[in-house]
Structure 1
Amino acid sequence: MSTLLKIEFIIAEELADEAGVFIVSKVPHGWEETPIEGGRKITLYLEDHPLGMEVVKEFQARFPDGDVTYGEEEPEDWAMAWKDFFVPVNCGESFKIFPPWLSDDDDTTTKHITIEPKMAFGTGHHPTTSLCLATIGDLAKSEVILPGQTFLDLGTGSGILGIGLSMLGLTGVALDIDPLAVSCAVENAGINDVAECMELAVGSIDCLADDVEFDLVVANILSGPLIEMASDILARIKPGGSLVLSGILVDKQSDAVADAYEKRGIGQPQRFTEGEWVCLTWDNIGS
């Protein structure tokens, strides 16, 4: 079994948010942040060592006053590291995320999603994931999305959004260009007993048959691809359907993404925010 590259960044507190934005644009999964005196330590693990070294070089160039250390780590050590800091995550009023070794059977007010923390982005800890799940829960409560409808989860990562939608009674397709992410999502779908509700595959939106449409499309990816794929994404939404986009910074990216879709005739979105991140939603599209 190949070793992992463990990278630790030490960054001043006033630059920590900027560093987080930088890392989320480079690394397709979660990481650990530990408060230290005067700043934070950010720890991440990568199977792709060349990618890791490229991230190290770019980090050093962008944050010359920060410290970086790296070295090889056995996969078992990486897995144990998650257990040291993974705690349950509340995602709005509808969902709560747990790792397999924790549970809260006394909490019957939320739907529990079990996620095996691995090398795929989407444990629920990152605001873009928790915000997306919270938004989906709100849309279900307001009956914008309904049981029996179909969904496309584009950039599924660990499968967490598709799993949440399946628990709400929808069925659909979940895609990711990373085979490792899809393997992780398949495992998580099985753990949560929704494997029959989700068809998982490696690929992007262009791998779908031309005539396939969905009641709901969700995409928690980066703003650049969301803008580039605007026409392709909208072509996959049934008349009267809904769209949920996340992975978008409030100040720097939200207007550009919203405008890219508005100019294609669907108007301005509703905006749900958490910290510096925003989730954009449209409903009743094209009806």
Structure 2
Amino acid sequence: MKIAVSGASGLIGSALVPALRADGHDVMQLVRRTPRTAEEHRWAPQHRRIDPALLADVDAVVNLAGKPIRPRPWTRGYREQLVASRLDATSTIAEALAAATAADPARPRVLVNASGIGYYGDTGDALIREDAPPGQDFLARLCVQWEGATAPAAESGVRVVLLRTGLVLGREAMLVKVLGLVFRLGLGGRLGSGRQYWPWISLRDEIDAIRHVLTTDLSGPVNVTAPTPATNAEFTRELGRVLRRPTVLPVPAFAISAGLGEFGRASVLGGQRAVPAKLLESGFRFTHTELGEALRVALARN
């Protein structure tokens, strides 16, 4: 397959591109800066611009573009950046794929578009499959808009897969870096009540799931999470066990809410007991189903 990847410099993209090339695919990267290699091609999603020829002969696009969501208060300006970076990139690609399909309707195409497990909002301990309704907080509304921006591609006949990804456990993941440092210093503990679910997935399984959806007939939303979601208390205990550090310093909910605002309430104190129903039903096999093993791999030092 000829595959275009946007957001290739991020945590997921930087691991996905070499994996796809190892599978024998012809991979080109969409970049906003001056291209440095023959495989890189410039586009300007902030201006909704892309050379129509770039996607004319591609079989698939994996769109991972979007400003990273950081553990910080969501100011109005920051919210606008989070929304615009996702909608601009997704709309630009979806419209370009729709145009390419209109010009060459015989070529089957697929758009694999990033989204987030935050689509569902805080759902307590309810078991969440892909048919669950969206939440009402900012992150949920963002995911609804983000997924909706793929409509031009879907309406033109492109198979669209929406990756509702959980907390990715990889060595360069922000979550792993921050919590790894805190826990290594012996300052770790549950966050808030600890009863909120943290749907996680190893970086390897994230990459393998994308490879899987590219070559199957899956479409629509897909929960990209491990089949064993863990509560924050369980996550905390396992992280302490892997690092051989105590986990006796809980952080009260009010402190998280005061310090991180809606990010803290939605992404730290809230959560989803999400399961990858569609992946499992399609025959996908996870490498890491146990949280401890996934954390050991993510926290391993070079």
Question: Same fold by TM-score, threshold 0.5 exceeded?
Answer: no
In terms of fraction of residues, the more strand-rich structure is 1
TM-score normalised to structure 2 length:
0.28
In terms of fraction of residues, the more helix-rich structure is 2
